[in-house]
Structure 1
Amino acid sequence: MGKRLFVTSRRGWRGLGVVAALLGIVFTASALVLLRERPVRIDPGDPNQVALGKRLYATACASCHGVSLEGQPDWQRRLPSGRLPAPPHDASGHTWHHPDDYLVRVTQLGPAAYPDGYQTDMPGFHDALTVGEIAAILAYIKSTWPADIRARQNRLNVTR
């Protein structure tokens, strides 16, 4: 009798089916891990990311938040609509009071990122900017902050 090269019993076929199913699960799980979005990197010390962010800020953000990140006048006083003007993103504003993940979410979602009932003119940019582009804008903004403000904001990222 020669050696069998093929599985011919039901038991053998079932075993191959189980192995194939397990391999499918392993490959699917591996693909999901590889395709999962990496945490966004916001590096105000990266000159390339900051330069990209500066260009993007000029086209997407400066019309409301100011060319020099100064915000709109009287940004803490409500408009007749009940909404607040666009705040500054320089050290005089409150942007640095928030962790990076919150800043990314607000930029992506606009009003949907805020609590119910909060009124804002801030649009969501999820259709206009990638997460990487938002990270570049935030890197540019953070690069303008004094070292002590940047350090305080970075501590918010660590404690989350």
Structure 2
Amino acid sequence: MTRFACGVAGSLVVAGSVAALSQGSSQPDRVALRADAPGVVSRGAEIYATHCASCHGADLEGQADWQTRGPDGRLPAPPHDASGHTWHHDADTLFRLTKYGVARMIGDPDYASNMPAYEDVLTDDDIVAVLRYIKSTWPEEIRAMHDDREPRE
């Protein structure tokens, strides 16, 4: 399966899980990620450096062989730059994945992942700031595609 097909297939599975998770959530119905808020993006870069870069890389490059499970059965941290699949996911999915972690998001408490849940670590505004920072690093054409998935105000 190609990298793009893997990303699309994963997006569909995760997106279905997001719908189930969003019921009863205290989160806003839709999260919008605008990459054009310099103060928020700057704060997001600082939070990313503190909480995310140790796994996802200082330059958002992810870990080596991020699409291949390791001996422990877990996937390495994916890149958040244009070479990864982050931009294939809508903002709601990215927000909930970061806040709740993979296992809770997909409804499988036994799913093993090195991605922690940040629900008790970062505020919702902090999570959005990090995601806005990540999005701000993508090439314009990828940001435009991602913008098409954003809720309209």
In the alignment, what sits opposite 1:132?
A: 125
In the alignment, what sits opposite 2:145?
A: 152
Aligned counterpart for 2:48 among listed residues 39, 57, 70:
57
Q: Distance in 1 between matches of 2:72 and 2:54?
A: 19
Aligned counterpart for 1:114 among listed residues 106, 119, 141:
106
Deviations 1:106-127 (A, max 9, x none): 0000121124254311000010
The secondary structure found in structure 2 opposite 1:157 is coil
Q: Distance in 1 between matches of 2:150 and 2:39?
A: 22
Confirm or deny: 8 A CA contact 1:100 1:157 kept in the other structure. yes
Q: Distance in 2 between matches of 1:37 and 1:99?
A: 15
Larger Rg: 1
TM-score scaled to structure 2, two decimals?
A: 0.75
Q: Distance in 1 between matches of 2:112 and 2:141?
A: 31
In the alignment, what sits opposite 2:37?
A: 46
Q: Are positions 1:105 and 2:126 aligned together? A: no
Q: Tell me which amino acid in the other structure corresponds to 2:37.
A: D
Q: Tell me which amino acid in the other structure corresponds to 1:103.
A: L
The secondary structure found in structure 2 opposite 1:135 is helix
RMSD after superposition = 1.9
Q: Distance in 2 between matches of 1:40 and 1:101?
A: 5
In the alignment, what sits opposite 1:3?
A: none
Deviations 1:90-141 (A, max 9, x none): 0000000000011000000012112425431100001010010000000100
Q: Distance in 2 between matches of 1:78 and 1:104?
A: 24
- For this pair of structures, how many residues does the alignment match? 124
Q: Tell me which amino acid in the other structure corresponds to 1:50.
A: V
Q: What is the percentage of aligned positions where both structures have the same residue? A: 52
Confirm or deny: 8 A CA contact 1:64 1:71 kept in the other structure. yes
Q: Tell me which amino acid in the other structure corresponds to 1:64.
A: C
Which runs of 4 or more aligned residues in structure 1 lie more than 6 Å from their structure 2 counterparts after TM superposition? Answer: none
Shift of 1:156: 2.2
Shift of 1:155: 1.8
The secondary structure found in structure 1 opposite 2:112 is coil
Q: Which runs of 5+ in 1 are unaligned?
A: 1-35
Shift of 1:67: 0.4
In the alignment, what sits opposite 2:76?
A: 85
